[in-house]
């Protein structure tokens, strides 16, 4: 499944393990980098390794990517006994990772964050396989803070304001975006009736209950907004209730737990109401859309608010803190943007100026330099 970015078939092909996932914010940049890597050479191969969470399995199966699982759980945000149980699984996960690495025989491991990336990176280090990592957020996640010490290269979506990473090993690339979304980049809103205003509501790959509740509370206030249409990704738990609420309010809506066709959904949207995960932010900047961000307040180090900052500073988005969110406030925002298409258009254009659609390609080019001419070349020669 080649990517759309570029293809070179000279020289040798390589095998790459993409380790991590668990959420769309980790998985989808991994898919984007895998697409660019696979497109680089006809003999390149990619294997995904993760904990086998439902999202990972469903997405990778649908897209046709080869993948394996290890038995591992997260440590953060759990009680003492659950942390102890999760910690006890780490040696087993490292052993499983060693077996997968030995069978696939990669030249490189790419960690994309999420707790399943850690054991794979450690196993690779023990076996002398080079590892690089990508950090999507302004504030690095726990796994990448651990793995950074053994990584040969660290790719960042944002400048390292935390000072946690070795500057000599880092490269700021932006956050990779999947081919299918890149193909819609900068194309503008898809064809719709001129009197239709489409709001795309996203809560991340698992939905956001607080945003769902606010939209339900907003429905009585939105009945007077002419031509309004809502496309709402609710997550599994709230899907049926939200579908009923929209139907009872008489508001045109498409409600799904999860959308497999996000490129099309972005193309049809005028305004996006969403969390501020790094992948969502990156995709909005590539397709160019106005956004109202409602950052997840429990995100580590409030990194979602930080993620949204670049778009807010550029005039491409605004932020509503969840503590200040209500149905009336959200309805007022939607109604305001419905009445002011020029403002929406200006915000969309400004979003494009922040985007880095070349991120995946930049990373793959650098990986090739490292493998063929840089510090990883010696490791590769010794392995052979």
Mind listing the domains of the chain with CATH numbers? 15-177+357-383 (3.40.50.2000), 182-354 (3.40.50.2000)
Sorting pLDDT into bands at 50, 70 and 90, what band is 12? confident
- Number of other CB atoms surrounding residue 11 within 10 Å: 11
What is the rounded distance in angstroms from the CA atom of residue 166 to the CA atom of residue 154?
8
What is the rounded distance in angstroms from the CA atom of residue 52 to the CA atom of residue 56?
6
Helix (H, G, I), strand (E, B) or coil at 199: strand
pLDDT tens figures, 20-51: 998 888 999 999 999 999 999 999 999 999 99
Percent of the chain at pLDDT > 90 equals 70
Mean pLDDT, range 1-27, rounded to an integer: 76
pLDDT tens figures, 254-285: 999 999 889 999 999 999 999 999 999 999 99
What is the rounded distance in angstroms from the CA atom of residue 160 to the CA atom of residue 241?
41
Q: Give the model's pLDDT for residue 147.
A: 93
Q: Give the model's pLDDT for residue 191.
A: 47
pLDDT tens figures, 177-220: 999 898 876 655 554 556 899 999 998 777 789 999 999 999 99
Q: Give the model's pLDDT for residue 207.
A: 76
What is the rounded distance in angstroms from the CA atom of residue 193 to the CA atom of residue 206?
31
Sorting pLDDT into bands at 50, 70 and 90, what band is 4? very low
Sorting pLDDT into bands at 50, 70 and 90, what band is 95? very high
């Amino acid at each position: 499944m080649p990517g759309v970015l570029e293809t070179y078939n000279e020289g040798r092909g390589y095998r790459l393990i993409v380790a991590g996932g668990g959420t769309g914010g980790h998985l989808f940049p991994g898919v984007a980098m895998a697409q660019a890597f696979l497109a680089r050479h006809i003999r390149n191969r990619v294997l995904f390794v993760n904990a086998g969470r439902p999202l990972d399995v469903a997405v990778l199966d649908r897209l046709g990517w080869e993948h394996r699982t290890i038995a591992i759980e997260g440590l953060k945000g759990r009680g003492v006994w659950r942390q102890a149980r999760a910690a006890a699984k780490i040696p087993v996960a490292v052993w499983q990772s060693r077996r997968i690495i030995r069978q696939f025989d990669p030249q490189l491991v790419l960690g994309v964050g999420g707790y399943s990336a850690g054991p794979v990176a450690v196993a690779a280090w023990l076996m002398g396989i080079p590892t690089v990592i990508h950090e999507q957020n302004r504030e690095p996640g726990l796994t990448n803070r651990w793995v950074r010490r053994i990584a040969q290269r660290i790719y960042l979506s944002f400048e390292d304001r935390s000072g946690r990473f070795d500057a000599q090993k880092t490269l700021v690339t932006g956050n990779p975006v999947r081919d299918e979304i890149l193909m819609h980049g900068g194309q503008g809103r898809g064809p719709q009736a001129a009197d239709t205003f489409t709001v795309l509501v996203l809560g991340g790959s698992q939905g956001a209950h607080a945003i769902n509740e606010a939209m339900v509370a907003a429905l009585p206030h939105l009945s007077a907004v002419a031509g309004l249409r809502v496309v709402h990704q609710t997550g599994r738990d709230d899907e049926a209730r939200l579908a009923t609420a929209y139907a009872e309010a008489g508001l045109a809506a498409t409600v799904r737990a999860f959308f497999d066709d996000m490129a099309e959904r972005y193309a049809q949207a005028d305004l996006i109401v969403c969390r501020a995960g790094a992948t969502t932010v990156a995709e909005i900047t590539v397709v160019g859309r106005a956004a109202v961000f409602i950052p997840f307040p429990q995100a580590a180090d409030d990194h979602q608010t930080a993620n949204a900052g670049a778009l807010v500073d550029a005039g491409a988005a605004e932020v509503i803190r969840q503590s200040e969110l209500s149905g009336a406030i959200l309805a007022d925002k939607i109604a305001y943007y419905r009445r002011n298409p020029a403002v929406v258009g200006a915000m969309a254009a400004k979003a494009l100026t922040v985007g880095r659609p070349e991120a995946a390609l930049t990373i793959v080019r650098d990986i090739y330099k490292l493998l063929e001419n840089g510090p990883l070349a010696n490791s590769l020669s010794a392995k052979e």
